[in-house]
Amino acid sequence: MNKGEFVEALADRLDIPRAQAERALSGVLEIISEQLVQGEKIAFTGFGSFEVSKRAARTGRNPQTGATIKIAESNVPKFTAGATLKSAVNPGGDKR
């Protein structure tokens, strides 16, 4: 599902015009992005949480040349699924 399909489904679910659903989704995504930029964590109980995680500096290899390269430390967005979402996706539990 892409953003357009999501907006369409949201408009249908809420029985609102597509333009209003698009503004609502854009607003939510902007707020999440702004909070992550500020280093805040966003948690939706049962669904999951968004936060910024630090990725340490490390060495890697250029796949074309095999040369060793230094990869700088970086901040990356991270999503962790909540219990309700996990059980919805995997209703039978983890049966390995």
Which tens digits make up the pLDDT trace of 1-29? Answer: 999 999 999 999 999 999 999 999 999 99
* 20 DSSP 8-state letter: H
The domain 41-96: what is its CATH number? 4.10.520.10
Taking the domains of the chain in order of start, what are their residue ranges? 1-40, 41-96
Q: How far is CA 15 from the centre of its chain?
A: 26
The model's confidence at residue 91, banded by pLDDT at 50, 70 and 90, is confident
Rounded percentage of the chain residues whose pLDDT exceeds 70: 96
Q: What are the tokens at 71?
A: 């990869």
Task: Indicate the average pLDDT of the chain.
Answer: 94
- The model carries a pTM of 0.79
- pLDDT of 94: 62
CA distance 17 to 34: 26
CA distance 89 to 81: 10
pLDDT at 96 over 60: no
* φ/ψ of residue 16, rounded to 5: -125, 160
pLDDT at 75 over 70: yes
